[in-house]
Structure 1
């Protein structure tokens, strides 16, 4: 009865406000505006906060970009459902679009735009179907997290999505793609590509990052919109900070001299915000420093829904450095 009531509200709302842009139209207007419109419309009929819908959608889009076993996102929504998941595992019609028979066979597919079909190529139907799944649990933070765990069966996925939701809620928008170089351009610094180089301290391993050499105390900045996932000591990295951005990238800052005042785990950051300063901490128990010249170790890691791996941050650093210089020139 509750599902029928929500379905009716969804149909009435979309008829009153008009259909969302189709895939063919998405190139004619700003894609972020289209996504936000989609999230807010589904929020209005389900009461699931738009920032959670945006976080789920972005998480799914990111893992699709990182993997080869699932297709890349083509529509406004990035959420992916397997055909049998959409129509129901026991459904003899794998391409079923009838919401009633899909529901009968336990499929997740639902009609979100009121056209009588559960179309897994329709962005509204896709997002509404995931929202409809969450509604079985509830619309508050705790119950949404329960729904996400039951769906993904992975604590890290729940944590990443919750972090994204907090970022979107904090800034009130989803266009959060700008970046910053991790040290001030006016400072005296140098770096080169060192990702994959051999490292000997603590056993044979490779260097999973780029070293940016600078003087003690040079400010270290957040490179993206993100949330602080980790802050503390590591015998390799010394005082370090880990920040997760909205694209499932984990930004790792190590060998710090200290942290910015009041920096806390769970804090939402923006590009350019000070998180600490350059130092030479690490390679020993807490407090060890001075075993190497002061520098910032900057690493980047990507999560694909199963695991996380490091990749070379050097090209990104070069790009952000160039972009920041260009912005500084235009601001003169």
Structure 2
């Protein structure tokens, strides 16, 4: 009977399992918060960042934070024995979080307890945590991404944020095709780092994801544009907009479907330049792996999100 039910409703079982892994993670984050007095969403954001910077992440892994061996065991501790007393002797950071007398870098509770103790070395305030993260990652974008994700998790009090939306209103006329990688000539020969969605002036432009607005303003190529960093280490770029919604500002948390502004034809000149091409939204996506950031083709994702939006409509 179970086999028959699974064959009929495979997505139901997959969704239940997905909820279970989120529940396990949240329980660990809340436990670590209770022990350290550091808000749970910082641990959740660090874990989420680590999971999404990996090329082949294991979604079934409860905690994806990987503390470098030299930091966990201490420099010179080549034996990598998990005895916390030996780790302390070598000035390592590894801690026993579950009381089994071992500081195991593969144990979820040990990992979070170790990260909590590392953060506490710097303090418990938001600024303290930012300093701790910078010293850990030595990279501004990593710190910024984690802090943004923590802000989103705090806003929605949840880590299971998987909803998506199409970037223009499907109630309006629009058209698009795969244009990523096409040649562009303005400002010198370059490739097109996005998909153009053609629509009439004033067509609402929406957030496709959960994230934080990192950038707004004029760009020589993109005109009036908005940049949103999501919780999956991806930067979403909206270009050639006609204007912004009155409530939109840098640092704001957004969710799928939030109105950002409207379609326009701005760009290819000084601030205010418009009409050099038909009205459309340039939509770009950039992935960060913890070392570098690069553009990739958003077209397959747009097709998927379009289907999701139509199912909601």
Q: Does 1:157 align with 2:142?
A: yes
Q: Deviations over 1:170-226 (max 9, x none)?
A: 111111111100111121000000000000001000000000000000000000011
- 2:265–2:275 CA contact under 8 A, matched in 1: yes
Question: Could you tell me how far 1:29 is from its partner in structure 2?
Answer: 5.8
Query: Corresponding residue for 1:139?
Result: 124
Q: Deviations over 1:83-134 (max 9, x none)?
A: 333211211312x111111111122211011111111111111111111111
Question: Could you tell me how far 1:326 is from its partner in structure 2?
Answer: 2.1
Give the Cα–Cα distance (whole angstroms) in 1 for the partners of residues 17 and 166 of structure 2.
30
Give the Cα–Cα distance (whole angstroms) in 2 for the partners of residues 34 and 317 of structure 1.
31
Match of residue 186, structure 1, among 152, 171, 178: 171
Give the Cα–Cα distance (whole angstroms) in 1 for the partners of residues 62 and 285 of structure 2.
27
Runs of 4+ in 1 over 4 A off after TM superposition: 26-29, 71-74
The more displaced of 157-166 and 233-242 is 157-166
Q: Secondary structure at the match of 1:220?
A: strand
TM-score w.r.t. the length of structure 2 is: 0.92
Give the Cα–Cα distance (whole angstroms) in 2 for the partners of residues 211 and 306 of structure 1.
28
Map 1:138-287 → 2, pairs under 5 A: 138-287=123-272
Query: Corresponding residue for 1:295?
Result: 280
Match of residue 78, structure 1, among 38, 61, 64: 64
Give the Cα–Cα distance (whole angstroms) in 1 for the partners of residues 107 and 128 of structure 2.
27
Q: Deviations over 1:247-287 (max 9, x none)?
A: 01111000000001021100000100000100000000000
Q: Deviations over 1:133-178 (max 9, x none)?
A: 1111111101111101111111111111111111111111111111
Q: Does 1:312 align with 2:312?
A: no
Q: Secondary structure at the match of 2:42?
A: helix
| Unaligned residue ranges in structure 1 (runs of 5+) | 1-25
Q: Secondary structure at the match of 1:317?
A: helix
Q: Aligned-residue CA RMSD in angstroms?
A: 1.5
Alpha-carbon spacing, 1:200–1:60, altered in 2? closer, same or farther (3 Å): same
Match of residue 49, structure 1, among 39, 53, 63: 39
Give the Cα–Cα distance (whole angstroms) in 2 for the partners of residues 104 and 74 of structure 1.
34
| Unaligned residue ranges in structure 2 (runs of 5+) | 1-15
Give the Cα–Cα distance (whole angstroms) in 1 for the partners of residues 90 and 114 of structure 2.
15
Question: Could you tell me how far 1:299 is from its partner in structure 2?
Answer: 0.3
- 2:21–2:60 CA contact under 8 A, matched in 1: no
Query: Corresponding residue for 1:65?
Result: 55
